[in-house]
Structure 1
Amino acid sequence: MTSPAVSITVAEAVWEQIKSSRSASDDHLSILQFLFGRNLERATRIVDQGGVRKVSAAPSGRSFFLVVGESKRKEEYICFPEHHCTCYSFFYDVVNRGEQLCCKHQIAARLAEAVGEVVEVEVSDEQLATMLSKL
């Protein structure tokens, strides 16, 4: 089994390559599949359905992602791709059990941003603060 630190380093390199070319090759997807398993396929479905929005505040430039879940309720989760997601799976599989490096929403946010499939939303700093206060 690969250590989490090595896996994260490899994933970061792949994300950078995808971002620089604005496309994910079969090799990129194979590596990500090895690292993230079933969550990669779920994340690609979210991206394909346009389920990732990047919320950016002005004038501060602070941002986070809103990522739609796959359930029938289509809940949106606040996601900071490198650090945190408000979904149940993040706390259960990533934080509590340590079975995953990240949740499908974090992967979807990274993938959508890297390939340019993210919907950009601009808000004021006050609106951003209000959105985050509901966490």
Structure 2
Amino acid sequence: MDLRETRSRLSTDSSALTLEGRNAREVLSLVYSYRFVRLVVNGGEIWVYTGPERDYVAIPGTYCSCMDFAIRVVSRGETPYCKHLLGLEVARRLGKYREVRLGSEEAVAVVREALFKGFSKTLHRMLYKY
């Protein structure tokens, strides 16, 4: 699978929105539990999936830092997207995500923590401030 196919399937293929080949309950639970976070940074955006065990960085229609994406999408070419990219597309269309505005340094910290530690303390502190 290549990037064009991933983007095409997620943006125009109705089968992507009907959750073809995926467990619909699992993907919709990602969306309706507001696990996707849009980080707004200097006019740009970065997306993070905040999972129960790990956080993943995602670029809509392009990339997810999860192992399923690395193995099934990139290495084996079995599918054009992982459940997180599909869930992100559904969340964006339905407006079912959280949004955090932050500076460049904070954004770098969030991405580094998610990619290298699997969990962003910085992001979770921002989301769950009291």
- The TM-score, its normalising length taken from structure 2, stands at 0.71
CA distance 1:96–1:34, change in 2 (3 Å) = farther
Offset at 1:100?
1.0
The unaligned stretches of length 5 or more in structure 2 are 116-130
CA distance 1:98–1:113, change in 2 (3 Å) = same
Choose from 18, 25, 28 the match for 1:44.
Answer: 28
Partner of 2:10: 11
Partner of 1:84: 63
Kindly provide the amino acid, as one letter, of the partner of residue 38 in structure 2. Answer: K
Give 1:33-72 correspondences, 5 Å limit.
36-38=20-22, 40-57=24-41, 60-69=42-51
The sequence identity of aligned pairs, in percent, is: 23
Q: 3-state SS of the aligned residue for 2:49?
A: strand
CA distance in 1, matches of 2:69, 2:5: 20
Choose from 113, 118, 125 the match for 2:92.
Answer: 113
Kindly provide the amino acid, as one letter, of the partner of residue 94 in structure 2. Answer: V
CA distance in 2, matches of 1:39, 1:52: 18
The unaligned stretches of length 5 or more in structure 1 are 15-27
Q: CA RMSD in A?
A: 2.7
**Number of matched residues?**
113
Q: 3-state SS of the aligned residue for 1:38?
A: coil
Kindly provide the amino acid, as one letter, of the partner of residue 35 in structure 2. Answer: G
The one-character-per-residue Cα deviations of 1:101-129 (angstroms, maximum 9, x if unpaired) are: 11111111111111111111111122112
